[in-house]
């Protein structure tokens, strides 16, 4: 049994794949298996993979018909043999000691998950890196329960700068949603990990360069329009099966949902926005009526967005389009008919307190 199983989901990434696999092969922790899941690539990715198979017995490949990121990851998880599972996206780059550092931290803290910071990385027009700051405000170097540190839920679901005990993933039934393409499937996986883990350890070190100049957008694909909704339905299913966690995390899920749905709305092509907004409004209205939403977790402008989206999707769309990028308070003031003067006053008061 290798110490780590590193799953690399691959689909038409010939341009970046060699550098990514080289960063894995150069790890100071040599006791790993690399599970390359080729999701029906039509470029030269498979030919490039063959060189690694021929040269390094730690590498193996699973060739499958194209069925999307979630299906590829679940296939890799099913075949993993390592004590720990790691995920390497085929356009990202590991720091040389990434696996060693993460696994050492997990073992020292007897943790089910070890999660580190990462670099935002651009290779063009010139190479540069910026620290993301995932662990800011979260205790590092000791085991904590993620449910006691909600920042872990609200920050980017960066599942690839972490290692997971394989027996933990199997015990909790944590798998990916199998929806088309590569469409937000990390969201539910990330939520389930933080919801189920009792012991997680966070590291302030950056262990991976997360490439920013290969961003693939799903904004023009009607077939992927509601994939983000499928992720939140999967989170809800997971919580329903764990009533002892649901009471504490239902409201957190709803706060996450609003942010994710608004982010998705802003990325959509104009012709797809109305259809998505209609479904988002119906979902959030139902969540409010069932009492699933904890408004104490919402900043004033977030509550204004929520109420506008539920009560008047048309006004929401008008405000969102007109005030996009102009600041939260500018948007809030357009919602005065829905939120009322008291809500605006609360937002202004919060702003003054933060500026002191």
Contacts (Cβ under 8 Å, ≥6 apart) of 276: 225, 226, 264, 265, 268
Buried/exposed code over 227-240 (b: 16+ C-beta within 10 A; e: otherwise): bbbbbbebbbebbe
Structure confidence at residue 313 (pLDDT)? 87
Question: Is-contact 336 344, C-beta < 8 A?
Answer: yes
Yes or no: say if 306 and 258 are a contact pair by the CB < 8 Å rule: yes
Counting as low any pLDDT under 50, the low residues of the chain are 217-218, 336-341, 343-344, 348, 351, 354
Q: Is 40 helix (H, G, I), strand (E, B) or coil?
A: coil
Query: Tell me, what's the pLDDT at 302?
Result: 85
Instruction: Output the pLDDT for position 178.
Output: 93
- Residues of the chain within CATH 3.90.550.10 domain(s) are 4-211
The CATH classification of domain 4-211, taken from the options 3.40.50.2000, 3.90.550.10, 3.90.45.10, 1.10.260.40 = 3.90.550.10
pLDDT at 318: 78
Radius of gyration of the chain (CA): 21
pLDDT at 218: 45
- What b-and-e string marks burial along 241-273, b requiring 16 or more CB atoms within 10 Å of the CB? eeeeebeebbbbbbbbbbebbbebbeebeeebb
């Amino acid at each position: 049994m290798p110490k780590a199983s590193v799953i690399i989901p691959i689909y038409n990434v010939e341009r970046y794949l060699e550098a990514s696999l080289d960063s894995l092969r150069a790890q100071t922790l040599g006791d790993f298996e690399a599970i390359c899941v080729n999701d029906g690539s039509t470029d030269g990715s498979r030919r490039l993979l063959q060189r690694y198979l021929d040269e390094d017995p730690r590498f193996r490949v699973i060739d499958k018909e194209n069925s999307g990121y979630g299906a590829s990851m679940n296939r890799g998880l099913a075949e993993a043999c390592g004590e720990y599972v790691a995920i390497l996206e085929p356009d990202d780059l590991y720091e040389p000691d990434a696996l060693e550092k993460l696994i050492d931290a997990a073992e020292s803290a007897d943790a089910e998950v070890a999660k580190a910071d990462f670099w935002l990385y651009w290779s063009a027009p010139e190479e540069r890196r910026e620290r993301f700051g995932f662990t800011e405000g979260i205790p590092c170097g000791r085991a904590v329960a993620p449910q006691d540190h909600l920042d872990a839920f609200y920050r980017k679901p960066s599942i690839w700068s972490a290692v997971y005990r394989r027996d933990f993933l199997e015990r909790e039934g944590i798998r990916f949603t199998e929806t088309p393409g590569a469409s937000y499937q990390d969201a539910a996986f990330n939520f389930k990990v933080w919801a189920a883990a009792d012991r997680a350890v966070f590291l302030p070190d950056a262990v991976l360069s997360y490439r920013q100049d290969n961003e693939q957008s799903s904004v023009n694909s009607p077939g992927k329009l509601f994939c983000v909704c499928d992720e939140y339905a999967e989170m809800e299913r997971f919580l329903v099966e764990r009533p002892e966690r649901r009471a504490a995390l239902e409201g957190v899920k709803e706060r996450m949902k609003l942010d994710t749905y608004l982010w998705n709305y802003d990325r959509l092509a104009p012709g797809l926005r109305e259809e998505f907004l209609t479904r988002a409004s119906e979902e959030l209205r139902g969540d409010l009526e069932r009492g699933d939403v904890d408004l104490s977790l919402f900043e004033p402008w977030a509550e204004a967005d929520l109420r506008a989206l539920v009560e008047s999707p048309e006004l929401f769309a008008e405000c969102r389009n007109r005030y996009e990028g102009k600041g939260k308070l500018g948007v809030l003031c357009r919602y005065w008919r829905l939120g009322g003067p008291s809500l605006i006053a609360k937002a202004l008061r919060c702003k003054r307190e933060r500026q002191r």
